[in-house]
Amino acid sequence: MLKFPAVHPCEAISPETLLNSLINLSQNICNYQSKLFSTQRKNARQTIRQIGLLLLFFEETRDLRLALTDSVVLCFSELHHAFQKVQFLLEDCTREGAKLWILIKCQVVSTQFLALIRAIATALDVLPLGLIDVGVEVKELVELAGKQARNAKVEVDPEDERALQQVFSVLDHFEKGIEPDSSFMKRVLDHLEIRNWNDCNKEIKFLEEQIDFQYSGCDGREAPFLSSLLGLMNYCRGVIFETWNHRSNKSDARHSIEALSCINAEDFRCPISLELMTDPVTVSTGQTYDRSSIQRWLKAGNMTCPKTGERMTSPELVPNTTLRKLIQQFCTDVGVCASSSGGQSRDIARTISPGSPAAAEEMKFLSRFLARRLVFGSSTILPLINLLSSSSEHHAQEIAISALLKLSKHTSGKKEIVESGGLKPILAVLQRGLSMEAKQMAAAIIFYLASVKPYRKLIGETPEVVPTLVELIKDGTTCGKKNGVVAIFGLLLHSGNHQRVISSGTIPLLMDIFSSSDNDELIADSLAVLAAIAESVDGTLAILQTSALSTIPRILRSSASTAAREYSVTVLLSLCKNGGAEAISILAKDHSLMSSLYLLLTDGSSYGSSKARGLIKLLHKFHETSSSGRVASVVPRERPVHVW
């Protein structure tokens, strides 16, 4: 956050590539006009406007195919470097969940805007505009942009300053043990466009990430202050928005039928019973349930909302008469008797017969309900595992594995599946499932279970798992191939599984996918696996035995998927680092590669941009050292030592 890892264009870069990259970068910056800036609005708008003027100049220079002198290229390189930093800064200012933190850093951010605008002004001052044969009007635009950049007044917006002081005042109240006036904090939240519980939750997630980063990658100096901000946003989420959301939902319940006419018919089903509601009531969290279902829930001693997991402040049930009338009108329009729906409801707990297909059907619906509450237990998992182990009918097996797949997506579900002995029957379905659909879902479960560190080792040590996943990649449908690929990716997060994956013939299959599949998601997932394999020297050596150094640059040039292009660069960077000068020399001969890297530098995510910068630096260093005869030292390469 607020780091600007820009890279200077290579001295040997062609003017055409540099100009095209400048245009792409400028267009990306101008696209930020449509994005929300909760703070720094004036500074961002001013910077974007100046770069928009220069974009017209760059586009005309390209369209006229003008020859550029070395001095012009040098100025363009400086502008490119500054524009990269501008894009990073705008990306941070509009980052989801970072509104409060950008407000706290408003002085730092304003200083960065000023420094970058001054850098642009300096580059334009030395730009030999007379040597560029563009129209008079365009030259006047460049001169205007330079004048605006030189005279720009970049400062903290008074409204941002006022909101910042209010935040410090609230924090001071908390430190003194005084609860602040909620309306006082609400003004700050309104200024930051933090309007509801979800917006507040995003801020909390971001602050948690920053605290983790402080302790893992920095000296932890800002962690205490970040923790104070985290406490503040937790207060806002739990007190301010819960209260206001409750009030607004009660008010919504009194709105007219016309105001609710846009509700989807699925909203008429009770989230607990999944049946059409006959007596809808609203609880304190604002969620609506059928009265009989939520009453049974409350009588069982539960005071959390089944759908959101929030704690209910009151057991009060508010009749939602408007929704009830709307449901009745809907039933009349489609010819359904609303009153009969309730009679068709079944008590799942009483009708389940463990080990039967009917039980699995009920469990599949129940799993959705349980997943929302993150409440699991052996009484839920064991019937599914028993059915999975004993079923000889493919439909029943598919239903059971489908229910387990839903449960495996949640932390408690993963734990219960493994601790209830579910891993072995799931692996059995993966190997000998009665249908391809069942095998595909078993592979997906492996992927979710592999997100838990100890389970990666446990699963990987089962001898048949990786070869079976490789077979699924080879012979499965597109969906089966995807699930097999992502399952292997999950297992690769444990270093002990790398050699198993390599020795099972995974790499040639992935290369086949690159040449035979047109599915962008499958190709991106396969590249992610290849990137994980390439992290080790053994993996790199195995990949270099294939056509990767010609195939992957082709994907980088042609793929419409940003993820695929970013993983392509990640693979190439690892091959160069671990493969040494031999690998770099092959890539250095591909003259179109640098253009693709600069495009990713401007269009990619922060992850993709960092990988592109790393590869550009390696190629730069190779070109610089190749003429002096020191090519072999470009990248130090570790070679494995075998002890007998």
221-239 pLDDT, tens digit each: 787 788 788 878 877 876 7
- Tokens, residue 457: 């080792």
Q: Does residue 392 lie in a domain region? A: no
3-state secondary structure of 313: coil
Residues 535 and 637 in one domain: yes
Strand partners, 319: 281
Report whether 38 contacts 126 (CB < 8 A).
no
Residues 149 and 210 in one domain: no
- pLDDT at res. 317: 87
Counted domains in the chain: 4
Residues 526 and 611 in one domain: yes
Q: Does residue 435 lie in a domain region? A: no
Residues 535 and 585 in one domain: yes
Residues 574 and 643 in one domain: yes
Q: Does residue 470 lie in a domain region? A: no
Q: Does residue 200 lie in a domain region? A: yes
Chain-centroid distance, C-alpha 66: 41
- pLDDT at res. 274: 64
Which residues make Cβ contacts (< 8 Å) with residue 284, sequence separation at least 6?
246, 312, 313, 314, 316
On the question of pLDDT at 366 being above 60, the answer is: no
Strand partners, 280: 290
- Rg of the chain over CA atoms, in angstroms? 30
The span from the CA of 449 to the CA of 500, in Å, is: 18
Q: What is the CATH number of the domain that holds 299?
A: 3.30.40.10
- pLDDT tens-digit series, residues 471-529: 999 998 999 999 999 999 999 999 899 999 999 999 999 999 999 988 989 999 999 99
What torsion, rounded to 10 degrees, do the Cα atoms 154, 158, 159, 163 define? 110
Least confident of 104-118, 274-288, 516-530: 274-288
Q: SS3 breakdown of the chain: % helix, strand, coil, rounded to 5?
A: 70, 0, 25
- pLDDT at res. 251: 42
- Tokens, residue 33: 């006009």
Cα dihedral sign, 624-626-630-636: positive
394 vs 97, higher pLDDT: 97
Q: Does residue 587 lie in a domain region? A: yes
Average confidence (pLDDT) over 600-604: 79
Last residue of a domain, one of 103, 134, 156: 156
Q: Does residue 10 lie in a domain region? A: no
- pLDDT at res. 330: 61
Residues 532 and 631 in one domain: yes
Q: Does residue 393 lie in a domain region? A: no
358 vs 385, higher pLDDT: 385
Residues 150 and 25 in one domain: yes
Instruction: Identify residue 193 by its one-letter amino acid code.
Output: E
Q: What is the CATH number of the domain that holds 549?
A: 1.25.10.10
Least confident of 148-162, 211-225, 474-488, 545-559: 211-225
Last residue of a domain, one of 156, 178, 194: 156
- pLDDT tens-digit series, residues 159-168: 999 999 999 8
On the question of pLDDT at 243 being above 70, the answer is: no
Residues 509 and 644 in one domain: yes
Report whether 403 contacts 379 (CB < 8 A).
no
- pLDDT at res. 236: 81
* Residue 171 burial (C-beta neighbours within 10 Å; 0-12, 13-18, 19+): middle
Q: Does residue 292 lie in a domain region? A: yes
Residues 89 and 24 in one domain: yes
- Tokens, residue 87: 């894009």
On the question of pLDDT at 295 being above 90, the answer is: no
- Tokens, residue 281: 């009531």
Last residue of a domain, one of 156, 186, 208: 156
Residues 532 and 626 in one domain: yes
Q: In 543-554, which positions are buried (b, 16+ CB within 10 angstroms) versus exposed (e)?
A: bbebebbeebbb
Residues 618 and 545 in one domain: yes
The span from the CA of 584 to the CA of 580, in Å, is: 6
Give the range of the structural domain holding residue 560, as residue numbers without chain letter: 505-644
Residues 214 and 269 in one domain: no
318 vs 44, higher pLDDT: 44
Least confident of 232-246, 403-417, 540-554: 232-246
Report whether 282 contacts 318 (CB < 8 A).
yes
Q: Whole-number mean pLDDT of the chain?
A: 81
Report whether 10 contacts 616 (CB < 8 A).
yes
